[in-house]
Amino acid sequence: MPLQVCMGAMMQCSFGVTPAPIAVPPKNKVFTMTPDANIMDNVPMTNIPSFGMCSSLANPEVAAATSAALGVLTPQACVPATTTPWAPGATTVLLGNFPALDNVSKLMCTWLGVISFVDAGETTVNIP
């Protein structure tokens, strides 16, 4: 069974260099050890921090730097561009009127990166 995601869970972007922790404010009013997340905890630079450097050519900054380097891939600073909720979420459990976020959910970045969890931050709460 998937695990509940909470504050500090570690994420990785498929085009990012380093993992980063999710930030979950206590607005959902549900805590395991720290605040628990729902699918709407997807706001760039609020919930989703930078993953270091971005290597996606769909990112205009990476494309411009690569073009200037005569086609040599030139990663640039990661600024997540997430506009949709996490999917699919745990529809059987609602936190703050939205499905709870579990560790098998994915988040798409506008620059074609797929953000996924490498650690749920929680080891004891399973979501059916």
Residue 39 forms part of a structural domain = yes
- Strand 90-95 relative to strand 76-77, pairing: unpaired
The span from the CA of 98 to the CA of 104, in Å, is: 16
For 10-32, write each residue's pLDDT tens digit.
Answer: 999 999 999 999 999 887 677 77
Q: List pLDDT tens digits, range 59-109.
A: 999 999 999 999 999 999 999 999 999 999 999 999 989 999 999 999 999
pLDDT of residue 27: 79
This prediction has a pTM of 0.93
Number of domains in the chain: 1
Domain encompassing residue 47:
10-51+79-119
Per-residue pLDDT, 128: 82
Spatial neighbors of 73 by CB under 8 A, at least 6 apart, are: 55, 57, 62, 66
70 in any annotated domain: no
